[in-house]
Structure 1
Amino acid sequence: MLSRNTAAKQRWGGQDTSLDRWLEERQSILVQYCSLAGLPPYSENRGQLPSIEHIQHFCETLVDYVSAGHFELYDRILSQANEHDQHAKEVAEQVYPQIAETTEAALAFNDQFGEIDTDSSLTGFDRQLSIIGEAIEQRLELEDKLLQLLSARELLDEKPVP
């Protein structure tokens, strides 16, 4: 997942400030997920439940990330696709509902763990973390499809940041 985001940042980064900010949020959510899951380079945490504060911070970042996609980026992509290319429009309209499903998974995870206050509230955490990991992976694939449809220079109205 991290290598996918690195490739996306290399390909589309630097062309639009909101896209750059969103790619940074995407990177942050992936790093936090790996840390929570005890994945490399955080494997020393494997088998231990993360702190409540760590989980809450992940939930906040997750909600910010999915919100930024929906309210800042996807609408712009769909709008530009409508103007430029019928095929791109069709693909975007097919991908968007699938992304919405991953948003629902993120919000459900946040609802369950975003405001926990005791370790006893972590029942089922490992299973739910696995489910949200799969949703994040699917979301990355779908988002990359949207970004691949259109060159970021054609897609986004903003000029590159000097």
Structure 2
Amino acid sequence: MLEGCKTAQERWGGVHVIIDRWLDQRRQLVEMWTYLRERGDFTPTDTPSIQRFCELLVDYVSAGHFTVYEQLALEAKEFHDDGAVVLLNTLLPLVDESTQIVLEFHDKYDTKQHCNSQLEALPFSLQALTLVMMERFQYEDQLIEELHEAHSEESA
């Protein structure tokens, strides 16, 4: 998953400052995720790391919804690219489906009390979240790639 994150940043890193920052947030999220998944058994001493992961997760998802997707939609409209608009309208609902799962994970582990009462379930929750987020990353990458390609060709 970390390698895919690096590849995405290499492919689209210079497209736009907003996307650069967002892909950097993704990298940080995936690094923390990898750290947690490698931990195995969790104890209350892991709670700050888990809470940090929750914070990174919600920040990443929020930046996508409230900044990146809006910017991509504006660019698609600016370039009068009906295909990009159709793609946005197709993929964003799929991305939105994962948002609810992210918020449920966050609510389950966001506070010390919540986290400590659910430590045994954390490895399973992380695994389920991994599957959802890998799919989400693919949709997001497709949005960036398709919109970037359309805009690059039009501006050339």
TM-score by length of 2: 0.86
Conserved 8 A contact 2:2-2:27: yes
Identity %: 33
For 2:147 and 2:4, locate their aligned partners in 1 and report how far apart those are by CA, in whole Å.
Answer: 18
For 1:27 and 1:2, locate their aligned partners in 2 and report how far apart those are by CA, in whole Å.
Answer: 7
Task: Please name the residue that 1:48 is paired with.
Answer: 41
Do residues 28 (structure 1) and 39 (structure 2) align?
Answer: no
Conserved 8 A contact 1:15-1:153: no
> Is the partner of 1:34 in helix, strand or coil?
helix
Q: 2:130 aligns with which of 126, 130, 133?
A: 133
Cα deviation code 1:108-131 (max 9, x no counterpart): 100000113363332421211111
For this pair of structures, how many residues does the alignment match? 148
Cα deviation code 1:22-56 (max 9, x no counterpart): 01000011111111111xxxxxx3x3216001100
The amino acid across from 2:8 in the alignment is A
Q: 2:94 aligns with which of 95, 98, 110?
A: 98
Kindly report the root-mean-square deviation, in angstroms, between the aligned alpha carbons of the 2 structures.
1.9
Task: Please name the residue that 2:4 is paired with.
Answer: 4
TM-score by length of 1: 0.83
Conserved 8 A contact 1:78-1:93: no
State which drifts further: 119-128 or 13-22.
Answer: 119-128
Q: Which runs of 5+ in 2 are unaligned?
A: none
Do residues 112 (structure 1) and 108 (structure 2) align?
Answer: yes
The amino acid across from 2:127 in the alignment is S
Task: Please name the residue that 1:63 is paired with.
Answer: 58
Q: Which runs of 5+ in 1 are unaligned?
A: 39-44, 156-162
For 1:109 and 1:120, locate their aligned partners in 2 and report how far apart those are by CA, in whole Å.
Answer: 13
For 2:67 and 2:124, locate their aligned partners in 1 and report how far apart those are by CA, in whole Å.
Answer: 31
Task: Please name the residue that 2:151 is paired with.
Answer: 154
Distance 1:153 1:20, change over 3 A: farther
Cα deviation code 1:49-85 (max 9, x no counterpart): 1600110000000000000011110011122223421
> Is the partner of 1:150 in helix, strand or coil?
helix
- Alpha-carbon distance, 1:15 to partner: 3.2
